[in-house]
Amino acid sequence: GSRFEGVTSGPPDPYYELLEAFEADTSDTKVNLWVRAYRVELQPFVLNVVKKAEKLMLEKGEDKEYLPMDGLAEFNKVTAELLFGANNPVIQEGRVATVQALSGTGALHLAAAFIHGNFPNAKALISSPTWSNHKTIFDDAKVPYSEYRHYDPISKQLDFDGMIADIKAAPHGSFVLLHGCAHNPTGMDPTPDQWGKIADIIQEKNHIPFFDVAYQGFASGNLDADAYAVRLFVERGLELLVAQSYGKNLGLYGERIGAINIVCSSSETAVRVKSQLKWLIRPEYSNPPLHGARIVANVVGDPALFNEWKQEVELISRRLKSLRQRLFESLSCKDRSGRDWSFIVKENGIFSLIGLNKAQIDNMRNKWHVYMIKDGRMSLGGLSLSQCEYLADAIRDSFH
Contact between 60 and 294 (Cβ < 8 Å): no
Is 334 one of the catalytic residues?
Answer: no
- Residues 324-353 within binding reach of ligand PMP (CB under 6 A): none
Of 52, 123, 156, 248, the catalytic one is 248
Is 131 one of the catalytic residues?
Answer: yes
In the complex, minimum distance from the CB of residue 303 to ligand PMP, in angstroms, rounded to a whole number: 26
Contact between 355 and 156 (Cβ < 8 Å): yes
Angstrom distance (rounded) from CA 190 to CA 203: 17
Single residue of 31, 214, 240, 372 touching ligand PMP by CB under 6 A: 214
Single residue of 217, 251, 258, 376 touching ligand PMP by CB under 6 A: 258
Residue 328 CA: distances (Å) to CA of 50, 100, 181, 333, 373: 32, 39, 22, 8, 21
In the complex, minimum distance from the CB of residue 247 to ligand PMP, in angstroms, rounded to a whole number: 4
Under the criterion CB under 6 A, does residue 39 sit at the interface with ligand PMP?
no
Give the count of beta carbons closer than 10 Å to the beta carbon of residue 303.
Answer: 8
Contact region with ligand PMP (CB under 6 A), list: 102-110, 328-336, 367-375, 383-391: 102-110
Residue 161 CA: distances (Å) to CA of 150, 187, 214: 9, 18, 25
Instruction: Give the three-class secondary structure for 179.
Output: strand
Contact region with ligand PMP (CB under 6 A), list: 99-107, 137-145, 194-202, 391-399: 99-107
Under the criterion CB under 6 A, does residue 184 sit at the interface with ligand PMP?
yes
Of 246, 226, 128, 223, the C-alpha closest to 177 is 128
Angstrom distance (rounded) from CA 257 to CA 60: 21
Pick the closer one to ligand PMP by CB: 136 or 332: 136
Single residue of 70, 166, 189, 212 touching ligand PMP by CB under 6 A: 212
Contact region with ligand PMP (CB under 6 A), list: 50-58, 84-92, 97-105, 319-327: 97-105
Single residue of 247, 288, 292, 382 touching ligand PMP by CB under 6 A: 247
Under the criterion CB under 6 A, does residue 292 sit at the interface with ligand PMP?
no
**Could you tell me which residues come within 8 angstroms of residue 167 by beta carbon, excluding any fewer than 6 positions away?**
125, 148, 176, 198, 201, 202, 205, 207
Of 116, 113, 79, the C-alpha closest to 99 is 79
Under the criterion CB under 6 A, does residue 221 sit at the interface with ligand PMP?
no
Residue 33 CA: distances (Å) to CA of 18, 277, 329, 387: 10, 36, 18, 11
Backbone phi, then psi, for 127, in 5-degree steps?
-75, 150
Pick the closer one to ligand PMP by CB: 189 or 394: 189
Of 166, 189, 212, 226, the catalytic one is 212
The DSSP 8-state label assigned to residue 40 in this structure reads E
Q: Is the dihedral of CA 390, 394, 395, 400 positive or negative?
A: positive
Under the criterion CB under 6 A, does residue 371 sit at the interface with ligand PMP?
no
Under the criterion CB under 6 A, does residue 217 sit at the interface with ligand PMP?
no
Is 226 one of the catalytic residues?
Answer: no
Contact region with ligand PMP (CB under 6 A), list: 16-24, 78-86, 100-108, 340-348: 100-108
Strands 208-213 and 175-179: parallel
Single residue of 34, 114, 131, 233 touching ligand PMP by CB under 6 A: 131
Name the residues annotated as catalytic: 131, 212, 248
Contact set with ligand PMP (CB under 6 A):
36, 103-105, 131, 179, 184, 212, 214, 245, 247, 253, 258
